[in-house]
Structure 1
Amino acid sequence: MYYNNLGVIHLGMGKPTVACLYLQKALQETQPGDESNSSAHSEGVLSHQPLYQLSSNVKPELHYNLGVTLLHMNKPDKAFDFLLEVLQVHPMNPRLWLRLAECCCTVHKLGLKEDLSSKKSIIQGTVGVGMHRKICLATRITDHNKKKSSEMHTESDAAFPEPTLEFARLCLRNALALLPENVSTTSLTDEQEVSGVMPELYPAGPSSPLRGAEVVSLRVSALACSAYVGLCLSDFSSALRHAELLLVAHPKIPDVYKLLGHLYAGEALISLGKMTEAIQHLDPRVVGEVSLSPPAQEALNTLPATTPSQGWLNTNAITAMQVMRYNLSVAYALRGEWEKANTLLKEVWAESNGNMPAQVIMLAMYINLQMGHVDIMKNIVENNILLT
């Protein structure tokens, strides 16, 4: 317990690496004795321990803490293995199902990281030499469903525990099914606490029981994650449904979830061919001023703040709004409103100081080609692709 508490404290201080070392020591302390000793010596060590100590098993708690710590260390594959051990003992914990889904999503995200940042992926190849050399552009940057389509996962395959998006969807279904609906997020008043009124708690072993506000916070996180998984698996109807539920889950959800709800709903509607509805969600005026910092803890009836794991959340509000305008530009382009799409994309381009992701560059080339600006398109290729 000493090493475990030190690990939890260091994780709360934002030092997951140190926390992992202490939690590993705590796990070693649960062993009855040195494996190099003889079995007779091990039996002797066990015989001197009280019965209540032998019957208690703290490994699930340690595995859970270690799994969450590894998730904060951006090691989702190892975190998945530890959390999976806990699932065998505590299958009714909605928080555990959500953490397993987050491991799967982080594994997927790390697999896309290289493709998303590489501008060279725009060029598929070249044909000819010298003045007759031509550049062949790729049709897309990434394919979220490459693994899914190649392996042809079925519903029965999704039940096999491995860090895939299919298993993440199953985990999120279980998390949402275990979370009660219509819970109260109102804190007890001082008079109620003095009179001994107990708040309504919901079991979530091996972690602490959940209060009403924590239940709603978990539901909001699960809905946002479900919308993301639906988009990645091309299940756009499911993604839209979860995004809309996210927007009405609580009147005071944090700004980041409000932003994600509109963003995921807009992307799903674009894929479903409903451009007018998508534009309504992607309009920056709908989201308003976005603050990605945690909300004040002293405010009543607000959802509790959660600290995102490393690399999980973009804390730059300007970049978040750039993504909104980029998606809005895509919607305008698909509707044939080239001037509006070009104006929005120019705003995104100007705010990025020339550090443009590959998707924005491809959209800029496509819009300028449609508008007949061939020279501008060639300059984009020369200045942003060939020189990288």
Structure 2
Amino acid sequence: MSDFDKAAAAAMQQTSSSSFGVGDDIAVGDGASASAAAPTPPVEQYTAEERQMAQRAAEHFQQGNLEDCLQLVKQLCSAHPADWAAQQNRAVADYVRSAYFRTEEFRQTLFNVASTAKFSIDACDQIEEPDSAVLFYNLALLNFYQRQHLEARRILKAMLPLSELLEPAFYRALVMLLLDTFLKLQCPEDAIQLLADGEKVVSQADETDSALSASAVESDGGDPGRGRGAGGLERAKSDLCLIRIAALLMRRDLGSAKQLIKANRQHPSADFTRTLQFHRAHLAYLAGNLRKALRLMHDIPGTPRSPTDTGECEAVMQWNNLACVHFHLGKHNLGAFYLKRAIKENEKACSDYQAKKANGKGSHVLHHQIPLRAYSISRHYELLHNLGLELLFSGKPVQAFDYLLEVINVYPRNPRLWLRLAECSIKYQRLSNSADREFRIRQRAVKGVVGSGRHRKLLLGTGVQEIKKPWEESAAMPTPTLEFASLCVRNALLLLPQEPPFPHGDTDYHGHVLRWAETLCLPLSPAGFLRGVQLIQFRASVLTSAAYIALCLCDHLQALRYCNQLLSQPALSDCQLYLGKMYLAEAKVNLQVPEHISKDYLNDAVQLLNPASVTRVDVLPAQPPRPDDWPKRKESPAPSVSQWTPDNVLEAQNIMKYNLSVVYAIKGDFDLARQHLQDVVYNPKGQGMSPPFPAHFYFFKLYLDLMQGRRSFAQLLLKETFGHLTPNPPNWRSKPAAAAPAVAPPDASAVQPPQGALPQQ
């Protein structure tokens, strides 16, 4: 689910208030601004009159007189057409005059200016010329607002080595924008590391500002109002504090985040207090105190500013956060209701803005008529992602599939989204593990009755499996089928980082994989990220789903490969280990059919299906022991939201005993098969399976009774379970008739591990 983070939005608002740093330092020629000077001396030197003209243009720009500014800049551009700095200033002034509407035209102008100045934008891994810093900053800012955060991060990180050559105010804006970008990309470690530089720059600017204010008091008769930038520095300090809290919450360092929140509870700014309230609710949410999170969310005051002014719609965030809390409370239908409200608020915010910019006659608002800040208003796909998850967990896989399929078109490199699509297909094919206990499924054990009197015959069913389709579904068609689910899990595995080769001589494979995973952090927009052990656990979930899908599609060899990979993974949860053994046993039983395959597969299945090996069936894995050289980090355990069956050890052992009984029957050892089956049903300690039994239990019980000549027991089972089809009571005094040799053995699919309720991450 999308997290509560609002600090990134708040910091973005503060940064955008001074957006387009080129506007603050509008410069022409070689001497008007150090941050916008040409890399080489211009062809024609500026005269003293032109320098005064450039200075007046800068003053007009800072005062908001854009028409006068543009008029002066155009004159300078006409006099010096080869000066790329003048062309850039003209583009900035014209873009600001359009209220930041013609974004694509401005972007193209910046590319043209970079081409004229011979700056390489595509290969700016490290910018060495400070003259180009303003140009690259503007491009990064455009990318940030248009949600091209990876490109923005690449440009901004290339500008960091210029810290000593840039003006302090400009470098401070650069650091703030990069911090916002790190939060958007779910990189809290990078943000915390950069925060030290940001706080250092702000503290240095604060000391300089204090010295200037003191000198102003002495020279101006004690007027302290001439101190410059005091409000901007205080706002920068507040933004850095909010960003630090957001980064600490993102990395699950709840203790440090709680202390920082308590230290800033009495902040005088209303905007800061409102954002801090979001963080308090987020802290309670991560700590598992969901009721407190709900109360804090309801206590957040509204904002008088419109979404077009702030770049964020707080109503959307509040509805979404309420849905997140109810998701973990297990109230998925209520969570889906809140998300639909959030989607309506999101559409309303976007439509209200478009209505303001229309000409009053209902004309369509063109793409170039959207201002830069409005690009970040819509949260449509993030909300669709959350709504899809709510519907999936509330038992509506088809609707969830439609929503998530729309999201995957925007975030195709998210492996978790591909797994969710596969889970939708699995749930659609088999909604729950209790389906085999339903009466309509149990009725398939007997197809019907023919004849009458002593010639009355019962027709036994052929199995619980549905009749296979005579055609194959196309895996390329985006429909909730197992064929498409197979494609989804393959995509998820391909998008995950591959494990490094195991070093020669190292015997601790699990420790090697854990140390490798701890160095990774995989962003999964629009949701959170995977890091360390979570990445390994997610890979195990994908392999579990892949093995189940392969078994359902009768691709037993591929299922065998998936199961072997799954069981070799470290940090497996108990249910993943349980399912891995069950699926591996079923795959080996099905691979036993060809005669050229060794008989050891059945013996391997018997060893895998050892009920004594099942001691726990927890969905969430225990934290593995960490070596001393691992980074120390406090993490809060994520609450479990999955309802998985079997949910207790006794039930899991009974299912494994049943499957073990089937394997013995396939081997021809019917006595052992009947012994294990009776232990499941007639356990003297009262630890047997409770009725109603799954449908395939009746098939298997009838098969064993007939194969062992226990006809009377088969009749008794039919009488107790399907009495409406067997009116004549069994003759207990007669000897059991010999079993007909034409009775087929149970399908290999009778080795049925719990299906459809794969562990969710």
Matched residue type, 2:617: S
- Cα 1:77–1:247 shift into 2, 3 Å: same
C-alpha distance in 2, partners of 1:51/1:132?
A: 84
The corresponding residue for 1:192 is: none
- Cα 1:17–1:135 shift into 2, 3 Å: same
The corresponding residue for 2:341 is: 25
Secondary structure of the corresponding residue to residue 462 of structure 2: coil
The corresponding residue for 2:610 is: 283
C-alpha distance in 2, partners of 1:114/1:9?
A: 30
Counterpart contact for 2:578–2:617, Cα < 8 Å: no
Identity %: 36
After superposition, residues 36-185 of structure 1 pair within 5 angstroms as 40=359, 51-110=372-431, 117=438, 118-143=441-466, 146=468, 149-153=469-473, 157-182=474-499, 185=514
Choose from 326, 332, 338 the match for 2:670: 338
Secondary structure of the corresponding residue to residue 152 of structure 1: coil
Counterpart contact for 2:614–2:653, Cα < 8 Å: no
In the superposition, the TM-score normalised over structure 1's length comes to 0.86
Greater relative CO, 1 or 2 (CA 8 Å, sep 6+): 1
Matched residue type, 1:77: V
- 1:49: Cα distance to partner? 8.3
The corresponding residue for 2:569 is: 249
- 1:24: Cα distance to partner? 0.6
- 1:178: Cα distance to partner? 0.8
Stretch of structure 1 that moved more, 291-300 or 329-338: 291-300
- Cα 1:212–1:303 shift into 2, 3 Å: farther
C-alpha distance in 2, partners of 1:247/1:298?
A: 16
CA deviation map 1:167-196 (0-9, x unaligned) = 0000000101111133864699xxxxxxxx
Matched residue count: 369
The corresponding residue for 2:579 is: 260
C-alpha distance in 2, partners of 1:296/1:132?
A: 61
The corresponding residue for 1:209 is: 529
- 1:377: Cα distance to partner? 1.5
The CA RMSD measured in Å over matched residues stands at: 3.2
Q: Residue 361 in 1 paired to residue 695 in 2?
A: no
- 1:40: Cα distance to partner? 4.5
C-alpha distance in 1, partners of 2:334/2:606?
A: 46
Counterpart contact for 2:340–2:387, Cα < 8 Å: yes
Q: Residue 385 in 1 paired to residue 703 in 2?
A: no
C-alpha distance in 1, partners of 2:671/2:636?
A: 41
- Cα 1:102–1:308 shift into 2, 3 Å: farther
CA deviation map 1:303-324 (0-9, x unaligned) = 97663545x5431322222111
- 1:132: Cα distance to partner? 2.4
The corresponding residue for 1:307 is: 640
- 1:51: Cα distance to partner? 2.8
- 1:353: Cα distance to partner? 3.9
- Cα 1:216–1:237 shift into 2, 3 Å: same
- Cα 1:344–1:187 shift into 2, 3 Å: same
- 1:379: Cα distance to partner? 1.1
Structure 2: gaps (5+ residues):
1-316, 501-512, 593-600, 628-634, 683-687, 726-761
In the superposition, the TM-score normalised over structure 2's length comes to 0.45
Counterpart contact for 2:395–2:431, Cα < 8 Å: no
Secondary structure of the corresponding residue to residue 447 of structure 2: strand
Matched residue type, 1:124: K
Matched residue type, 1:267: E
Counterpart contact for 1:254–1:303, Cα < 8 Å: no
Matched residue type, 2:404: L
After the TM superposition, which parts of structure 1 deviate over 4 Å for at least 4 consecutive aligned residues?
37-50, 111-116, 183-188, 295-306
Counterpart contact for 1:266–1:278, Cα < 8 Å: yes
Q: Residue 272 in 1 paired to residue 591 in 2?
A: yes
Choose from 300, 303, 322 the match for 1:6: 322
The corresponding residue for 1:194 is: none
CA deviation map 1:281-310 (0-9, x unaligned) = 11223x331233534569759997663545
- Cα 1:233–1:116 shift into 2, 3 Å: farther
Structure 1: gaps (5+ residues):
189-197
Matched residue type, 2:608: H
